[in-house]
Amino acid sequence: MMRGRGVVNRIGAWLAALLLGVLASGLAGAAAQAEDGYDLWLRHAPLDPARAEAAREVLGPVELRGDGSGTAGTARGEIERGLAGMLGADRGNRSITLALTQDLTEGERWLAAELAGAPPGSFVIAADPNAGTIVAARDDTGLLYGAFALLRHVAGDRPLPEVARTYRPGMPLRLLNHWDNPDGHVERGYAGRSIFDWWHLPERLDPRMIDYARANASIGINGAVVNNVNARAFMLEPRYIAKLKRLADAWRPYGIRVYLSARFSAPRDIGGLETADPLDPAVRAWWHAKADEIYAAIPDFGGLLVKANSEGQPGPQDYGRTHADGANMLAEALGTRGTVIWRAFVYSAEDETDRAKQAYEEFVPLDGRFADNVIVQVKNGPIDFQPREPFHPMFGAMPNTKLMLETQITKEYLGFASHLAFLAPMWTEVLDADTGRGGTVAEVVAPAGMAGVANTGSDRNWSGSHFDQANWYAFGRLAWDPSLSSEDIAREWAALTFSREEAFLAAVVPMMLSSRETVARYMTPMGLAHLMDTGHHYGPGPWVCDLPRPEWNPCYYHRADAGGIGFDRTATGSNALEQYAPGVAAAWADPAEIDERYLLWFHHLPWDYPAQSGRPLWDELVARYDRGVAEADAMAQTWSELSPYVDPQRHRAVAESLAIQRREARWWRDASLAYWQSLNGLDLPPGTRAPEHDLDYYRSLVFPEAPGR
């Protein structure tokens, strides 16, 4: 959020004082009726009488200047809907005005100056003690974002000191990437089937699509890639373009643009050509014609997302061409109408050095060779969404290429939907990381944007567990404003979703903020990574060493043996450190000085290596596993004490998930320690609980019904 000092100076302190009154007291007691989570953070729960009375002093009827259709009309409807929920029918007299800058009165023209040069979607919230509140924007989508922001401030868990100001999005593209398949299966999805009913589109549009768009717009998300990056070529056929058009038409009033994952070999798969070579004139002509066909149906189609030459997917390297050759061919077909988003997630069995290095080695030499409407989408870390990774070395290393940050909202490696793991701290670690090359990761990706692999599904609560909604929410808020703190986002979400009571927030927010670190401790402490079982990625499997591709095996990553554990990525090993700026590499090069959360990511060390605590590495590792388990127990205990603040249905559902998490935290800890002991032959530190079962038991477990495969 960019603060508009001119706005604050003009309205004075009166609005802040009124909002302090509006937000000063909490909602007493739990909700009177059970809830199922479908309303997400848009519940608009009634304010208690004191809060409602203060709000009525500020908020009255909603007036929309100009055309009341489309997005602007949607903005008005959202404010009416939200205030009706929070205040009921009894409203104050001061109006809430929604106005585009061209519809401002002479006395309001200064608001237009506040928005001069602001990016699309920007808005101003201002007020006049006599006239009421004004939400002004240069475009209709800005009015919609302003409407949701005003509701968020009224309903929020605490007063925000500068509600009246100018708000600008920090990134132009704020996209959800759905790994949904046309048959309804969701790859790495843990919340049921896909929300997209391709079978009945275009004739029937599921009403859930509108609620999905509302939720996204409320947090500033402005695009959705609707299908899996492991794409099916037939989704480019005319029958699917008609289905996409129906979605695009439904989402347009909410500022959501449709994007599509494209299979690179589509000209050969469905186009009747013998090749998909990006330099072949017939291939280029096919993509031009296909782009024209899409834009004829969907004039505001966002563009194409491509996964190429990774995990067996086709791509330009099949023809001896580069990633730039492939991306630029598609960019030429789209022209100025849309964007090509090219994923940098690549690895192959032929790379015998270090999987963490491959993307950098393939893409950095191509810096400056991508077309202007190409964005290279880079995962937060160099491997694959692990509970902890260092930031990707490509950030800051390609100054002449637009880079986009890719995060994973669905928790493929963090306990699926069962484990409570609030991911804003993970993402802010990356966004705030100094690349050592002239800026933070947030500054590097600001010209392009941020993408999140979606966690939505057909479950009634959308995300499989209620607390997983917080990660969808946090992604949108950080993509809009990467300077927001994880604590502010957690408080905001918890108050909107559960309770405004300060006693509730004082317990839940710290639990949320520490939860991801808890999961990392009992799964992958001290920089270990990729220890999950094969295929489903569910549960521990550090003993898996016999898969056909080396980089599929946990043994490839932990390198544990009788002598030690960890992956040496220093100059004596793979030298992946060399891909980072010298100052960054220096901070990780010395095992005695490194942040020990990354220790075994960068170093292979003997089991008796002295940790910074003074304990041998083995003892320190065990202590961190145990701390993770204890913290999982503490989360369950904390939640059990919060039943007075949450409706019984959702409280019970969260308690049941936390019970699963407690059990599985012990499973991760016990199975991992049993395996490490089989290698190092060491006893557990005195007083430490032994694993519940022997190693053979843990290795025998199979889960053919695990979701998301």
Which residues form the catalytic set?
311, 384, 412
* DSSP-based three-state secondary structure for 117: coil
Distance CA 468, CA 470 (A): 5
Which pairing describes strands 123-128 and 165-167: parallel, antiparallel, or unpaired?
Answer: antiparallel
In terms of Cα–Cα distance, which of 195, 201, 186 is closest to 249? 201
Q: Which residues of 649-684 are buried (b: 16+ CB within 10 A; e: fewer)?
A: ebbebbeebbebbbebbbbbbbbbbbbbbebbeeee
Is 525 within 8 Å of 628 (Cβ atoms)?
Answer: yes
Distance CA 262, CA 225 (A): 10
How many Cβ atoms from other residues are within 10 Å of residue 312's Cβ?
7
Distance CA 365, CA 344 (A): 13
CA-CA-CA-CA torsion sign (498, 504, 506, 512): negative
Distance CA 334, CA 226 (A): 18
Query: Torsion angle, CA of 220/222/227/232, rounded to 10 degrees?
Result: -160
CA distances from 351 to 192, 357, 563, 565 (A): 36, 9, 26, 22
Structure tokens at 314: 């086709």
Residue with tokens 């290596």: 609
Q: At 405, which helix (H) or strand (E)?
A: strand 403-408
Structure tokens at 332: 């030429």
User: Cα-flanking dihedrals φ and ψ of residue 596, to 5°?
Assistant: -65, -10
Is 499 within 8 Å of 493 (Cβ atoms)?
Answer: no
